[in-house]
């Protein structure tokens, strides 16, 4: 029976990390080699070393997407949900179902299922963000499809703010900083009060300088991104293996399901993470040990 119902969760994904100063040059090289509209989306997929695309963890796809000045990533829509965490650049935009939203570093911007969206860039220099999509689910539920719009851009108007799809960094950090204790977790909520989507959620964490977060393990998995600071995460996988990952600003790392994590900050640090907690909660599969 234990092959079918193991004594502990056994994710296929392993711990993995992508250092920004190593992968940024590759992304820029992709920028030289492949036009954004040629690729539809120019993304450096963060594929879990134990798996193949689209798996960053068993349930989350993540990648770094690049748009160069003047480029357009053409309008399309798909059943998959996407959230983006803006890493670098100014005056890039994403237009979602007619709302053109300017991307600012640290923003979370949502692309709900089946909404038309295109990306562009009216500033200088590279515009880079982390995409989190629920693509792995569609390997089990073959209900994923995309539709291309007839034109490059779906008609849109620039908006000052789009509270339904954009959460700025400032309110997140204000909330984290207002909390007592050397470690705090902020769970992103959609304006309607629930998690960001039916499948994917977001969280941000503050870890004060020279402190560590309490050990936590959850049945959901995470793709973490260091917004600011530096430190390491001490990870104990579901199979008992232990791994330590060093991180600094811009680095991204995957934490598989049921991995115990302790973040150790060398300086005041802020981490963002996309997770699949909403999916597991909706299916009654979410567990947490703290």
How far apart CA 192 and CA 5 sit, in angstroms, is 37
Nearer Cβ to ligand 1HN (41/105): 41
Nearer Cβ to ligand 1HN (55/270): 55
82: contact with ligand 1HN by CB under 6 A: yes
Element (H, E) at 86: strand 82-88
- The SS3 assignment for 75 reads strand
Q: How many residues bind ligand 1HN (CB under 6 A)?
A: 9
Among 11, 16, 62, 63, binds ligand 1HN (CB under 6 A): 63
Site for ligand 1HN in 173-202 (CB under 6 A): none
For the chain, give the number of residues.
290
Q: How far is the CB of 287 from ligand 1HN (least distance, A)?
A: 29
Structure tokens at 20: 């920004």
Q: How far is the CB of 133 from ligand 1HN (least distance, A)?
A: 6
131: contact with ligand 1HN by CB under 6 A: yes
DSSP for 153-188, please give it.
S---EE-S--TTTEE-HHHHHHHHHHS-SSEEEEE-
Q: Which backbone phi and psi does 56 adopt, to 5 degrees?
A: -95, -40
236: contact with ligand 1HN by CB under 6 A: no
Structure tokens at 145: 């499809």
Pairing relationship of beta strands 157-158 and 99-102 according to DSSP bridges: parallel
How far apart CA 68 and CA 140 sit, in angstroms, is 35
Nearer Cβ to ligand 1HN (107/228): 107
Nearer Cβ to ligand 1HN (36/235): 36
Binding mask 28-57 for ligand 1HN (x = CB under 6 A): -------------x-x--------------
Q: Which residues bind ligand 1HN (CB under 6 A)?
A: 41, 43, 63, 65, 78, 82, 117, 131, 133
């Amino acid at each position: 029976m234990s092959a079918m119902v193991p004594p502990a969760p056994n994710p296929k994904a392993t711990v993995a990390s992508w250092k920004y100063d190593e992968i940024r040059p590759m992304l820029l090289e992709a920028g030289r080699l492949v036009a954004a509209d040629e690729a539809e989306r120019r993304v450096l997929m963060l594929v879990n070393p134990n798996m193949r695309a689209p798996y960053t963890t068993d349930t989350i796809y993540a990648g770094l997407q690049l748009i160069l000045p003047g480029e357009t990533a053409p309008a399309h829509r798909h059943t998959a949900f996407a959230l983006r965490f803006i890493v670098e650049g100014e005056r890039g935009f994403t237009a979602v179902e007619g709302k053109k939203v300017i991307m600012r570093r640290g923003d979370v911007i949502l692309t709900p299922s089946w909404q038309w969206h295109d990306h562009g860039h009216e500033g200088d220099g590279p515009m880079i963000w982390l995409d989190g999509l629920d693509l792995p689910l569609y390997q089990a539920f073959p209900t994923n499809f995309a539709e291309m719009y007839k034109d490059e851009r779906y008609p849109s108007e620039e908006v000052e703010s789009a509270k339904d799809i954009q959460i700025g960094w400032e309110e997140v950090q204000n909330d984290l900083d207002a909390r007592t204790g050397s470690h705090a977790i902020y769970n992103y909520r959609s304006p309607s009060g629930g998690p960001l989507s039916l499948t994917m959620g977001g969280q941000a964490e503050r870890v004060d300088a020279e402190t560590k977060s309490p050990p936590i393990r959850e049945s959901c998995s995470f793709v973490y991104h260091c917004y600011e600071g530096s430190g390491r995460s001490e990870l104990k996988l579901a199979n008992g293996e232990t791994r330590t990952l060093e991180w600094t600003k811009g680095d991204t790392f995957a934490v598989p399901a049921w991995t115990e994590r302790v973040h150790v900050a060398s300086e005041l640090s802020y981490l963002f993470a996309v997770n699949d907690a909403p999916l597991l909660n909706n299916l009654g599969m979410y567990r947490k040990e703290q």
